[in-house]
Amino acid sequence: MKLKNYAQGKWVEGEGDGTPLYNAINGNLIGYASSKGLDFDAMLEFGRRSGGPALRKMTFHERGRMLKALALHLYKIRDQFYPISYQTGATKADSWIDIEGGIGNLFANASLRRQFPDETYYVDGEAADLSRGGNFIGHHIMVPKEGVAIHINAFNFPIWGMLEKVAVNLLAGVPAVVKPATLTSYLTEAMFHEIIKSGILPEGAMQLICGSARTLLDHVDSQDVITFTGSATTGKMLKSNPRVIDRAVPFNMEADSLNCSVLGEDAKPGTDEFDLFIKEVRKEMTVKCGQKCTAIRRVIVPEHLIEDVQIALGKALSKTTIGDPRVEGVRMGALAGKVQVEEVRERIEALRKNASLVYGNPEVTETIGEGTEKGAFMSPVVLLQEDPFRYTEAHEIEAFGPVCTLMPYNGLDEAIELSKMGKGSLCCSIATYDDRIARDFAIGAASHHGRILVLNRECAKESTGHGSPLPLLVHGGPGRAGGGEEMGGVRGVKHYLQRCAIQGTPTTITKITNQYQVGGKYLDPGKHLFRKHFEDLVVGETIITHKRTVTEADIVNFANVSWDHFYAHTDVTALDETIFEQRVAHGYFILSAAAGLFVDAAKGPVLLNYGIEECRFTKPVYAGATIGVRLTVKEKVDQEKKDEEDIAKGIVKFLVDVYDETGETVAIATILTMVKKREQ
């Protein structure tokens, strides 16, 4: 079998024999992969001219719904990928992380659409007032880059590696070219076929290269974005490509790193935290055979507990059954290939220069399952480095397999220092039930880590674990880990957007952003805003209400109704040395009174008010003051129907500007209302 590439909207076989691909369990030939003959320049241009414009025409909400549809489709057929995944050496649990974890990334990013406007662009942050008179302001918008996201992925997660990245760029409105590691590209290709077959994505939104990337980066341009996952050495080589440098192409690197896990000084044998620590280290060594960029490589333990940890970890690892993932009871599969086995053995020998082997044998592995003697198996290996400050191999050399090194520390400062000696990691963890220890460690170590997990008995059942990157949190790390960020919720999507500062009058900036800017011109709605359906409301439309005079009785009555008897509202004798001149009206009374002024009471398109944002009380209101309200349509957010029976509606954000008889604002807030659409 020869794998196919998906280029310029067509499935294409590469020229020549290609690279042979083998089953990691029994060594049998699976097929060949080749990218020879592909026109990389034409592929990138196809993405820019076809996929890019189609995605940019869609709003964030439309792109999010597209991701959700794709996730639902792949989830329904997920079982067909497991047999293929087993050939990579993955167990069912490993495959679940790769397959369903990857699909879960699509779901998570699809849900992010609610944090973006129903627009093709994103309005970032708050407006900046650039003038005394208020007629010149600045803001920031973010629009999709007009290039292609080029994803060069590692061999360990052929599906997750693809889906966790494309979910982000597709939500941003940028097409992708996916280049999986050749070694396990047959699994990526299998899912890619189903993605294209579904017809859910627009033409050119995704392309696939199986085989060598060769000269791919020689054709990138300034609007493209490159992401790389793999070894730091390869990443540096790719990042230094002259074209990448010349065109200032963004390059996001997520490199394998020497992640660590720390046992807190309070987590002694017999505590829940000690047991959780051992369980987590064992898991990170055996899941995917330790072939994870987030796996624990350095195990940092209080000096007097080294022997206890060594014994407990050895007992835990001894229960690990290795072999064919399809055989009942197997808990650990194979490395991705025999080349990886040899590479890990070489790294173990380098680590053993000044460290001792305390568990396992890299040369001998007992396996179960027919034909496994020809597979790429390796036993878990534990080393002990008794002087980690003097001998630094464990802080410099990574064996990308089921290997870790124990090392002692005296005092939390030493633990923090040892964690930093990895020169930048994707993640680290600490097992402790002492929140003081957790705080000091997290603040002390955060500069050198992309993520820190604090593991204790209270979060253990719900914790996703040391090695699980989550789509709504940053995945990446400084230094050796590459200095990049993947995912991270909204901030992850922003990697594929171009931020641009815009300047002008509040009215002009309102028009550009489609969000009302304070000071912009008011539009006449023609009738009360609460009488208009969602589609008919226009950003900037404003009603100016009649007015109301606040009385002493209002203040007293509100105090009695609300039970808010704060002295400034009720005790005029207590106002000396305060900012108040007399008894002041409650801020929430002012807001309530404002609602009484702007609400149209009769039944209409407004279904309900369900929230308040950015509420501020800017000036004291005393008895005798007269207040009015300027109610303005600030922003509109479309809502999709949950089902056929659901009411068609959208969210309207109204700016509530409460002012007094001098015209000065005394309170300002944004209220959220659910407004019905016209009958379809």
For a pLDDT cut of 90, what percent of the chain falls above it? 83
Residue partners of 581: CB distance under 8 A and separation at least 6: 575, 620, 622
Per-position b or e across 361-388, b if 16+ CB within 10 A of its CB? ebeebebebeebeebbbbbbbbbbbeeb
Residue whose C-alpha is closest to residue 256's, from 347, 388, 190: 347
How many Cβ atoms are within 10 Å of 623's Cβ, its own excluded? 16
pLDDT score, position 679:
74
Q: What is the mean pLDDT of residues 422-437?
A: 95
Per-residue confidence at 484, pLDDT binned at 50, 70, 90? confident
Catalytic residue among 119, 254, 398, 635: 254
Per-residue confidence at 70, pLDDT binned at 50, 70, 90? very high
Residue partners of 2: CB distance under 8 A and separation at least 6: 13, 14, 18, 31, 32, 33, 34
Q: From CA 239, how far away is CA 223, in angstroms rounded?
A: 16
More confident residue, 154 or 517: 517
Q: What is the mean pLDDT of residues 629-639?
A: 94
How many Cβ atoms are within 10 Å of 678's Cβ, its own excluded? 11
pLDDT score, position 471:
85
* DSSP reduced 3-state for 278: helix
Q: From CA 387, how far away is CA 455, in angstroms rounded?
A: 26
Mind listing the pLDDT tens digit for each residue in 100-121?
Answer: 999 999 999 999 998 898 899 9
The reply to whether 462 belongs to the active site is: no
Q: What is the mean pLDDT of residues 665-676?
A: 96
Q: What is the mean pLDDT of residues 155-168?
A: 92
* DSSP reduced 3-state for 404: strand
Q: From CA 236, how far away is CA 449, in angstroms rounded?
A: 19
Mind listing the pLDDT tens digit for each residue in 573-597?
Answer: 898 888 998 999 999 999 999 999 9
CB distance 69 to 41 below 8 Å: no
Q: What is the mean pLDDT of residues 138-157?
A: 94
Q: Set out the domains of the chain in order of their start, with CATH numbers.
A: 36-254+491-498 (3.40.605.10), 259-469 (3.40.309.10), 515-676 (3.10.129.10)
CB distance 623 to 655 below 8 Å: no
DSSP class of 2: B
pLDDT score, position 301:
98
Mind listing the pLDDT tens digit for each residue in 529-573?
Answer: 999 999 999 999 999 999 999 999 999 999 999 999 999 999 888
- CA dihedral (323, 325, 328, 332) positive or negative: positive
More confident residue, 388 or 154: 388
SS (H, E, C) 32-59: EECCCCCCHHHHHHHHHHHHHHHHHCCC
Per-residue confidence at 230, pLDDT binned at 50, 70, 90? confident
Task: Output the six-digit token pair for 164.
Answer: 């966790």
Task: Output the six-digit token pair for 462.
Answer: 């719900």
| Nearest 10 degrees: Cα torsion 561, 565, 571, 575 | -130
* DSSP reduced 3-state for 546: coil
Q: Supply the mean pLDDT for the chain.
A: 93
Q: 587-598 and 552-562 helices cross at what angle (nearest 10)?
A: 110
The reply to whether 254 belongs to the active site is: yes
pLDDT at 166 over 90: yes
Q: Which helix (H) or strand (E) holds 110?
A: helix 92-111
- CA dihedral (641, 643, 648, 654) positive or negative: negative
Residue whose C-alpha is closest to residue 476's, from 231, 253, 149: 253
Per-residue confidence at 214, pLDDT binned at 50, 70, 90? confident
CB distance 666 to 617 below 8 Å: yes
Pairing mode of beta strands 665-676, 606-617: antiparallel
More confident residue, 230 or 416: 416
Mind listing the pLDDT tens digit for each residue in 332-373?
Answer: 999 999 999 999 999 999 999 999 999 999 998 899 998 898
pLDDT score, position 665:
96
Per-residue confidence at 62, pLDDT binned at 50, 70, 90? very high
| Nearest 10 degrees: Cα torsion 195, 198, 199, 202 | -30
Catalytic residue among 289, 293, 427, 428: 293
Mind listing the pLDDT tens digit for each residue in 404-419?
Answer: 999 999 999 999 999 9
pLDDT at 680 over 70: no
